[in-house]
Amino acid sequence: MKKKILVVDDEAGLTRMLKRSLEATGKYEVREENTGVHALSAAKEFKPDLILLDVMMPDTDGGSVAAQIEEDELLGRTPIVFLTAIVKKGEVDSTGSPIGGRTFLAKPVRLDDLTACIEHHLEKR
C-alpha cells in the first residue's frame, strides 16, 4: 500500500516536481497544496502519513501550520519535515537534521535524500 505524502509549499513548480518524482518511485501517493492557509484542511481530507512543509510562505509560516496540525486530534502524530532555503545543505544532514525539535531539509533537496528522510520518519510511526 502506498504511503500518502502531503507537500505544502508556495512554489507550485517545486510541489509538481516533488509529486512527479515521489510518485515515480511507486511507493507514494502525493497531494500538493500551495497555500499554507489551506494546509490543515488538505491534511484533514487527505490523511497523509507524512507532511513536507515549507517554512516561509507568503500567507502564513510553516511553524503556524505545523502547530495547527499538531493540535488536531487525528493529525497530531503525523510526522512533519520542514523544507527550507533558510538553512544550507552543510548545516543539515542529507536526510534531515533536527533543529528545535523539528526535522529540516535544505532546499534544493535531492530525491534520494528526500526519500531516505521520508522512510526514516515513516519507520518511526
Residue-range domain boundaries for the chain: 3-124
Per-residue pLDDT of the chain (125 residues; tens, 9 = 90+): 999 999 999 999 999 999 999 999 999 999 999 999 999 999 999 999 999 999 888 888 888 999 999 999 999 999 999 988 765 555 555 545 445 567 888 888 889 999 999 999 999 77
Q: Are residues 84 and 61 in contact, defined by beta-carbon separation less than 8 angstroms?
A: no
0.85 surpassed by pTM: yes
Q: Are residues 70 and 76 in contact, defined by beta-carbon separation less than 8 angstroms?
A: yes
CATH code: domain 3-124 is 3.40.50.2300
The angle that helices 62-71 and 39-46 make with each other, rounded to 10 degrees, is 40
pLDDT of residue 98: 46
